[in-house]
Amino acid sequence: MPEKPIDHIDFDELNSKAISKPLVTHLFTADPSAHVFDGRIYIYPSHDIDEGDAFDDLGSHFAMKDYHVFSMAHPEAEAIDHGVAMRVEDIPWAEKQLWAPDAAHKNGTYYLFFPAKDYDGIFRIGVAISTSPGGPFTAQPQAIKNSFSIDPAVFEDENDNYLMYFGGIWGGQLQRWRTGSFKAEGEGPFIHLPEDNEPALCAKVAKLSNDLLEFVEEPKDVVILDEAGMPLLQGDNERRFFEAPWVHKYNGKYYFSYSTGDTHYICYAMSDNPYGPFTYKGRILNPVVGWTSHHSIVEFQNKWYLFYHDSSLSKGVTHLRSIKCIELTYDEFGHIHTIDPYR
């Protein structure tokens, strides 16, 4: 992914204007998926490292090799590092690039869902399990059957249904699956994408099996409609889905939030149905320092929080990010107030 020009940024000034500080400073962390387990906030992020890989629009420089889990007693408390939760060498099917994970809990077992490239260079989504929310996690021998692309986010509905949302375009390879099988031919992030005037590529949603280890249905499109009820178009890059899906429920409505990637917004859309279609509503987070933006939304003690990341600690290095947290608020119609990450 390309760098935004950062020559003009005074990072001391920027950090003094930042609305929140990095939760973790001894490691670089990104893509925070937050959940409340046993009354504590657990955060499942990517662990960013610099492997010296060349920067490209497919994100080859995001070369992560392990996961750490963090937990906090409350959003202002110190984030405790629970240590290495899982390494790429402990995942039989995965070769590289442990990207944005998520977690879920069911019947005393904790599940870590994660994307990684297999030995054919194809992103798949795997599951690992633990008896503790802080790990360590043991990976299943194979990726989830028929899984593809990146950024799993698992939403638990009231009826004990667990739905996995996933997907990401460009380096996330979603565009290579448009016909139902992986299209390997062609180089670069744009090949296989729809034309600008065609409906945008959608994130996917699939219900998980009772043991949360497989899909029990074909992944379906998470359609986002505009105010006129028409699907957003691929060329509408300030609003269309790029990566980082997340779903939460507030006042009986489902909120599908996501990153717009190359325009650097976190946006959201609302629906009465977790499968959608969702109607576009607006922006949650304006652009952060760094190319990517990725978030989660969680309720803790009757307040709502946005977990996100930026590259301010690394002074703008795209693949060395830091997780952060800020309160998120709604208006009387349930619309989310847009957050500016720097005052």
Q: Which residues bind ligand FUB (CB under 6 A)?
A: 30-31, 46, 62, 99-100, 150-151, 168, 243-244, 292, 294
Spatial separation of the C-alpha atoms in residues 203 and 249, rounded to whole Å: 18
DSSP 42: E
Q: Provide the phi-psi class of 290: left if phi over 0, else alpha when psi is between -120 and 50, else beta.
A: left
Which of 102, 236, 243, 310 is flagged as catalytic? 243
Residue 267 tokens read as 């946006």
Give 53's contacts (C-beta < 8 A, 6+ positions apart): 60, 61, 63
Q: Which residues of 47-84 are buried (b: 16+ CB within 10 A; e: fewer)?
A: bbeeeeeebeeebbbbbbebbbbbbbeebeeebbebeb
The answer to whether residue 51 is catalytic is: no
Strand partners, 44: 33
- For the CB of residue 159, give the shortest distance to ligand FUB in the complex, in Å: 28
- For the CB of residue 244, give the shortest distance to ligand FUB in the complex, in Å: 4
Spatial separation of the C-alpha atoms in residues 71 and 215, rounded to whole Å: 29
- For the CB of residue 174, give the shortest distance to ligand FUB in the complex, in Å: 12
Which of 31, 102, 151, 236 is flagged as catalytic? 31
- CB-nearer residue toward ligand FUB: 62 or 305: 62
Residue pointed to by tokens 């790029």: 242
- CB-nearer residue toward ligand FUB: 151 or 221: 151
- For the CB of residue 107, give the shortest distance to ligand FUB in the complex, in Å: 28
- For the CB of residue 301, give the shortest distance to ligand FUB in the complex, in Å: 28
Angle at 274 between CA 268 and CA 278, to 5 degrees: 40
- CB-nearer residue toward ligand FUB: 93 or 195: 93
The answer to whether residue 243 is catalytic is: yes
> Torsion angle, CA of 225/226/231/237, rounded to 10 degrees?
-110
Residue pointed to by tokens 């099996």: 209
- CB-nearer residue toward ligand FUB: 102 or 221: 102
- CB-nearer residue toward ligand FUB: 132 or 263: 263
Q: Give the residue numbers marked as catalytic.
A: 31, 243
